[in-house]
């Protein structure tokens, strides 16, 4: 018998930006610390996939809220979205194309100091 893992629901970077700004969902960035420091979406919450896989809890700012999961290109965010769904997180969606698509759409990226950041 084959078990098929359903792909998480997906959203666009523009829709994720809007939901993050109106606070109807939390943008959860699952990239590693150096990637986060180089550049992330304003208002995003950081929770590296490696920590989540090791059993870490979600940051307090993301607990009990709808989540939009983002990484660099979309692979890790899909994995994180499945993991969080399996753990019982509420509504979890993956941001299509990750931070690469976010930046390509002209959406803001800031570094750890609030200056213009990079997704590289």
Q: Which residues are catalytic?
A: 71
E-assigned strands of the chain?
Answer: 9-11, 26-29, 45-46, 67-70, 92-95
CA–CA separation, 89 and 36 (whole Å): 23
With contact defined as beta carbons under 8 Å apart, do 36 and 46 qualify?
Answer: yes
With contact defined as beta carbons under 8 Å apart, do 74 and 31 qualify?
Answer: no
How many residues does the structure list for the chain?
Answer: 120
């Amino acid at each position: 018998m084959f078990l098929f893992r359903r792909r998480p629901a997906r959203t666009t970077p523009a829709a994720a930006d809007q939901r993050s700004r109106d606070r109807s969902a939390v943008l959860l960035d699952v990239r590693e610390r150096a990637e986060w420091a180089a550049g992330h979406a304003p208002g995003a919450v950081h929770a590296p996939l490696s920590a989540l896989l090791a059993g870490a809890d979600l940051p307090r700012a993301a607990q009990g809220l709808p989540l939009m999961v983002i990484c660099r290109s979309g692979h890790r965010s899909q994995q994180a979205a499945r993991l969080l769904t399996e753990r019982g997180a509420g509504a979890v969606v993956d941001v299509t194309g990750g931070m690469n698509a976010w930046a390509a759409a002209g959406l803001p990226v800031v570094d750890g100091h609030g200056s213009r950041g990079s997704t590289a």
